[in-house]
A and B are shown apart, each in its own frame.
Chain A
Amino acid sequence: MSQTNFEPKIVGFLCNWCSYRAADLAGIARITHAPNVRIVRVMCSGRVDPTFVLKALSLGADGVMIAGCHPGECHYVDQNYKAMRRYHLLKHTLHAMGVEPDRVRLVWASAAEGQQLAEAIDGLVADVKKLGPLGWSQNWEENGERLHALEEIINEHAEAMEVHA
């Protein structure tokens, strides 16, 4: 795929109380942003288990955005601080796995910040475009010798496999 017409697939986990409303506001105010984000509404950024991010990446997302209320403004007291800690720990691990840091991003957006959220989305999409497709499942493809080798073993053993009654 040529880098120029590569349209990244981004999964965005947006908290119900601030960021999702910011996205709504952006829509109502006709603020344009890149259409690459598939938004998943969660009650709170603290609900975003690292599993969600890993699953998105393993199933074909090129990038992930987690968005929540500004620190101090979470509707579940301090769950976005928990999100912050998880996010940095997850990024530390993803880095060791070879996932570029720019593919996963945590942003804060209040319900009034439609413009800021739109800019954050554009920024993430632009950065992921630069990185190119992630295509994680391609990492699992085995070297070409595998099937051939299996066939050879099976052929070689075929005679023995015949069951003698």
Chain B
Amino acid sequence: MSSASGAATAAGTKPKLAIYWAASCGGCEISILGIDTKILDVAAAFELVMCPCIMDGKVRDIEQLEDGAIAVCLFNGSIRNSEQEYMAQLLRRKSKVLVAFGSCAHEGCIPGLANLHDKQAIFENSYQETESTENPQRVRPQTATTVPEGTLHLPVFYDTVRTLDQTVDVDYYLPGCPPESPKIWEAIQAIVAGNLPPKGTVIGSDTTVCDDCKRIRNVKKVKQFKRTWEIIPDPEICLLEQGLLCCGIATRAGCGALCPQVNSPCIGCYGPNNDVHDFGARLMSAVASVIDADNPKDINAIISQGIPDPVGTFYRFGLAGSLLRRSKRPAGSDGGH
């Protein structure tokens, strides 16, 4: 793999770095800043050409670069509208290495949970039904509005949130919501050194959060799942054994088991390990094996009482990137209206 810093031109300018956000919360940028004073090393190694969260950069300037002129683009956020899809295409074209940075770009994350609904349902809720909305004329955002100076455009809102690699070709993935700062620093160092793994690699370990968790494990047999607010868990014993649906068993290591350390179950933000096609399927499989019942009636009682929101539990971070990607849409809906 050639060194990304090889993108420096003969004139000796620094390789270009772009950091972009699409449908995301901004936490990924905060996590990048979390590498602390090492950010100065990043500034020394790269010329930052775009990062809307912290500096002013123009799309037009990116458009005018030669294809492949950006050495590395860290792209966070999922794709939920046409503007984001355009930026994904543009940055793919202009970047040598495109990294799906963080859970949203990697597997859809929280924005992807909107795939339980479609555009029409989301607009109806946001612009009509919420308590704080008063909209008797049923005004909705328009994608084109003509004013004396010309036509103004808003992006087209999609029915289905997509991951970055469902949209453009991706070189690497950095998991986590957000990726932990030390892991970001490791990845940046690898990029600077040109020490990159094969294309398509999820940069991280291939063990699970359980492997990093110090809690005592005995026998996992659960007769009743509990929500976090229902109990104060014992600080030493495995949370799953105590009935809290801890996702550590199916989640890629990388955070150092942060949540179980503070008595809170892992909710799966680092996503699946290598070779797992569907995080939810993996987690369901693991959770099913701890259910302590052997007939359909008791099994279903435990499930329906303890796991009222299965999609939010098994696919909290991975719905858009899952095998089914979204819920079934009502017959005849095309969202086009």
Contacts and interface: CB of A to CB of B under 8 A. Distances in A.
Interface string B265-304: 0000000000001101110110111010110100110011
Most chain B CB within a 10 A radius of its CB, from A57, A136, A164: A136
A50 B300 contact: no
B329 interface: yes
A70 B119 CA distance: 45
B328 A98 contact: yes
Nearest to B66: A163
B284 A86 contact: yes
Contact of A51 (B66, B281, B310, B327): B281
Interface bracket on B: 35 or more
B311 interface: yes
Interface residues of A, number: 44
Interface string A17-41: 0000000000000000000000000
B158 interface: yes
The interface residues of chain A, by DSSP majority, are classed as: helix
Interface string A128-165: 00000000100111111110111011101100111110
A99 B328 contact: yes
A77 interface: no
A153 B82 contact: yes
Given A71-B294, A157-B59, A89 B287 contact: yes
Contacts of B277: 51, 55
Contacts of A98: 327-329
Given A51-B277, A93-B310, A88 B328 contact: no
B287 A160 contact: no
A107 interface: no
Nearest to A143: B335
A148 B153 CA distance: 12
Interface in B315-337: 322-329, 334-337
Contacts of B294: 71, 81, 84
Contacts of A88: 288, 296, 299-300, 303
Contact of B155 (A96, A99, A149, A154): A149
A97 B299 contact: no
Contacts of B327: 96-98, 139
Nearest to A98: B328
Contacts of A157: 59-60, 63, 86
Contact of A57 (B59, B159, B324, B326): B324
Interface in A51-70: 51, 54-55, 57-58
Contacts of A140: 160, 325-326
Contacts of B282: 51
B321 to A, nearest CB: 12
A90 interface: yes
B64 A163 contact: yes
Nearest to B61: A160
Contacts of B324: 54, 57-58, 97, 136, 139
Contacts of B325: 58, 139-140
A55 B328 contact: no
Nearest to B118: A143
Contacts of A93: 280, 284, 310-311, 314
The 7 closest A-B pairs by CB, nearest first: A98-B328, A143-B335, A149-B82, A149-B156, A50-B281, A85-B288, A93-B310
